[in-house]
Chains A and B, each alone.
Chain A
Amino acid sequence: MAKKGNQADTKLLMIENLQVEVEGREILHHVDLEINQGETHVLFGPNGSGKTTLLMATMGFPDYQITGGRILFKGEDITSIPLNERANLGFGLSFQRPPTIKGVNMRQILEICGKGDKDVESMARSLDFDEFLDRDLNDGFSGGEIKRSELLQLMAQNPDFLLLDEPESGVDLENIALIGKVIEKLLERETVSQKGISRKELKREREKAGLIITHTGYILDYVDADIGHVIIAGEKCCEGNPREILKTIKEQGYDECVRCCGLNTGALSKDKEIRSN
């Protein structure tokens, strides 16, 4: 389904006609998505619309069963390869609600993420998180601490493709700027200009790409994104300028997306039904 076959070399991720089931129930129906190298995409959608399902299925979690379509990464079909192999190919995911793992501390997980050859101390300091290095993973962490922990792990992992599930949720205003800054850095989108390199050149050289789920859209105040998508009731119904999409949602709600995309008006109530389950 690639629209421009001649640009295949810059295609990082291609999701084609993807169908995903969770506990025997189809959540995603025929979703297509393409992300080029250096691009950051944003996924909008009401609660229960299938955003997290798309992220989890892309990452390869076994509970998210792909029943149709395929996923290509760097030109390779990865539809059926396991989670950890995707991580090793360059996928990095920030969990919204990560589990606590007792007896495994922050330092250990960073060594795991960095394959043992990263300076985890200074990375932790850069996120003002060095005091947490000897704490058990996510044990008693606040919402903001969980985000910092997740991003720190991604820093150590240094993935080519980032999957971020609501990175702004549960973060207070003071910390959201810091989180935004780290995400920009991970995506090679820092606005600090480097000597002798124009922004255009920077953009061309950028390799990292990302897919960010946002429910509120706040993260767009801190992280620049290239393309936005709207998912409603398991279908991708819109693709375009992320700020324009956000503006429409803020002003008119997802009802406007339903109308604009010509979806069945029951689509949103279906989401609500999913959510309440």
Chain B
Amino acid sequence: MQTQKEEKEALAKEASDKVSTYGTDIDLEAFSAETDPHPYQEDLSAFSQTEQSQMLKAGVELTAKNRSGTFIQKDLSVVHASTSQDGIEVMDIEEALEKYDWFHQYWWKAVPVDMDKYTARAELHQEHGYFIRSLPGTSSIYPVQACLYMEEDNLAQDVHNVIIAERGSELHIITGCATAPHVKSGLHLGVSEFYIKKGAKITFTMIHNWVEGVAVRPRSATIVEEGGLFISNYVCMQPVGTLQTYPVAYLVGEGATARFNSILVATSGSVMDVGARVYLKSKGTRSEIISRAITTGGKIIARGHIIGEVPGIKAHLECKGLILTDEGMIHAVPELEGHRKDVDLSHEAAVGKIAQEEIEYLMARGLSQEEATATIVRGFLNVDIEGLPPELKAEMDRAVEVSEKSLL
């Protein structure tokens, strides 16, 4: 009989040339799959100044102040994993694989291994990733932080992450992906599977800080059980080569909720195809997908897809785009799919320039045209996120603020 491992591998091999439905096709052979290992570092202050500042831009605080745990992977090596709170586990996924005999129940159970060539590659070439788990009834006092850092040029980083919030627990995670400033190209493939048990809650705030020329293909999915809550915040305001991601949430338990917020800024040369898809599969489930996109010359495709499969569900999609130069492009693709008569699905989409009327209003209060524009853009990006701890709201605000300066 085939083991699960063999079965997944076989599926992956079959899918290894399967072109993704979205995003330009990437030649996986163009990247190297190996590099020298980096040493493990117990002491977070031992990271170089450059690393610290790059990670900080992605919300990862190496003083580890106000953090319940820290995970750092540099290229293909896990260089740090620690936790400072009982009931919160942070470790290398390989370690979890060995430690827990039940682990296979969470491996490729939310994301299909043969979804496309990227998931297939993650299975066949996977190098680490993180495992974060909150034990039943535990609440992370401070957020857990994880950083996937790319140091080596032209490397393919394939990680697989599993995040579990056990019954009645609460987990706040901030993930920063960053590259060393000298990196010219690279490929980041990240598979993330989230499991939210009955009455549990996960907030997941991801700040991406890439460089031009990096290709990014995260693949993630979340399964939310009864009364569970998933909040995903995604911020990508720095240049990137090509980014395509379309995370999915399956609301399988009664009263489960998922909220996706994304803030995207595409500078010239960046291509971002970012969406969120939610399946409402049980009575009383709720969802909200909100995106704010700004282009200063890059291309953004903002997708949203809500699928209401049972009666008595409610979901809303909001997609707003600001085009600041004529070179840029924003394509909003909101999709609503109702399968029963008693579903309540709505969407709101608007793409355009800043209203002259708003600029003049602020100018009449004494602001210059530039100050007025900056104030309006800042307001546009200021998404109010319910349920986000203040530390994470502050990190998001900081990421937005850092990027704004280069934006205007």
Contacts A103-B378, A103-B381, A104-B379; A153 near B358 (Cβ below 8 A)? no
Q: Which residue of B lies closest to A159 (CB)?
A: B366
Which listed residue (B361, B366, B381) contacts A101, Cβ 8 A?
B361
Q: Which residues of B contact A87 (CB under 8 A)?
A: 363-366
Contact (Cβ within 8 A) B379 A101: yes
Contacts A102-B380, A103-B379; A112 near B362 (Cβ below 8 A)? yes
Describe B's contact surface by its main secondary structure: helix
Cα separation A88 to B367 with both chains bound (whole Å):
9
| Contact of B376 with A by CB under 8 A | yes
| Contact of A99 with B by CB under 8 A | yes
Q: Which residue of B lies closest to A94 (CB)?
A: B364
Contacts A61-B360, A99-B358; A104 near B376 (Cβ below 8 A)? yes
Contact (Cβ within 8 A) B380 A153: no
Q: Which residues of A contact B369 (CB under 8 A)?
A: 82, 84
| Contact of B382 with A by CB under 8 A | yes
Cα separation A178 to B365 with both chains bound (whole Å):
23
Q: Which residues of A contact B364 (CB under 8 A)?
A: 59, 61, 83-84, 87, 93, 95
Q: Mark A81-120, 1 if CB is under 8 A from B, else 0.
A: 0111001100001010011011110001100110100000
Total count of chain B residues near the partner, CB < 8 A: 22
Q: Which of B358, B365, B380, B383 has the most CB of A within 10 A?
A: B365
Cα separation A103 to B381 with both chains bound (whole Å):
7
| Contact of B375 with A by CB under 8 A | yes
| Contact of A157 with B by CB under 8 A | yes
Contact (Cβ within 8 A) A102 B379: yes
- Shortest CB-to-CB span from A273 to chain B, Å, is 25
Contacts A99-B355, A103-B380, A104-B376; A115 near B366 (Cβ below 8 A)? yes
Contacts A84-B368, A84-B369; A101 near B376 (Cβ below 8 A)? yes
Contact (Cβ within 8 A) A157 B366: yes
Q: Which residues of B contact A93 (CB under 8 A)?
A: 364
- Shortest CB-to-CB span from A63 to chain B, Å, is 8
Which listed residue (A62, A103, A113, A136) contacts B365, Cβ 8 A?
A113
Cα separation A95 to B358 with both chains bound (whole Å):
12
Cα separation A115 to B366 with both chains bound (whole Å):
9
Contact (Cβ within 8 A) B361 A99: yes
Cα separation A223 to B245 with both chains bound (whole Å):
60
Cα separation A87 to B357 with both chains bound (whole Å):
16
Contact (Cβ within 8 A) A112 B355: no
Contact (Cβ within 8 A) A109 B365: yes
Q: Which residues of B contact A62 (CB under 8 A)?
A: 360
Contacts A99-B355, A99-B358; A83 near B363 (Cβ below 8 A)? yes
Contacts A62-B360, A99-B357, A101-B358; A157 near B365 (Cβ below 8 A)? yes
Cα separation A113 to B363 with both chains bound (whole Å):
10
- Shortest CB-to-CB span from B97 to chain A, Å, is 44
Q: Which residues of B contact A101 (CB under 8 A)?
A: 358, 361-362, 376, 379
Segment 252-286 of B: residues with Cβ below 8 Å from A:
none
Cα separation A149 to B358 with both chains bound (whole Å):
15
Cα separation A88 to B368 with both chains bound (whole Å):
10
- Shortest CB-to-CB span from B235 to chain A, Å, is 15
Cα separation A170 to B358 with both chains bound (whole Å):
21
Contact (Cβ within 8 A) A113 B366: yes
Cα separation A212 to B367 with both chains bound (whole Å):
24
Cα separation A62 to B381 with both chains bound (whole Å):
27
- Shortest CB-to-CB span from B383 to chain A, Å, is 8
Contacts A87-B365, A93-B364, A157-B366; A112 near B375 (Cβ below 8 A)? yes
- Shortest CB-to-CB span from A78 to chain B, Å, is 14
Cα separation A59 to B361 with both chains bound (whole Å):
11
Contact (Cβ within 8 A) B361 A88: no
Q: Which of B355, B366, B376 has the most CB of A within 10 A?
A: B366
Which listed residue (B361, B381, B382) contacts A95, Cβ 8 A?
B361
Segment 357-397 of B: residues with Cβ below 8 Å from A:
357-358, 360-369, 372, 375-376, 378-383
Contacts A102-B380, A104-B375; A88 near B358 (Cβ below 8 A)? no
Contact (Cβ within 8 A) A103 B366: no
Cα separation A113 to B365 with both chains bound (whole Å):
6
Cα separation A80 to B379 with both chains bound (whole Å):
30
Segment 338-370 of B: residues with Cβ below 8 Å from A:
355, 357-358, 360-369
Inter-chain pairs besides A62-B360, A84-B366, 8 sampled, C-beta below 8 Å: A59-B364, A83-B363, A88-B366, A101-B361, A104-B375, A104-B376, A109-B362, A157-B366
**A–B complex contacts, Cβ < 8 Å, 27 sampled:** A59-B364, A82-B363, A83-B364, A84-B363, A84-B364, A84-B368, A84-B372, A87-B363, A87-B365, A88-B366, A95-B364, A99-B357, A101-B362, A102-B379, A102-B380, A103-B376, A103-B378, A103-B380, A104-B375, A104-B379, A112-B362, A112-B366, A112-B367, A113-B365, A115-B366, A136-B379, A157-B366
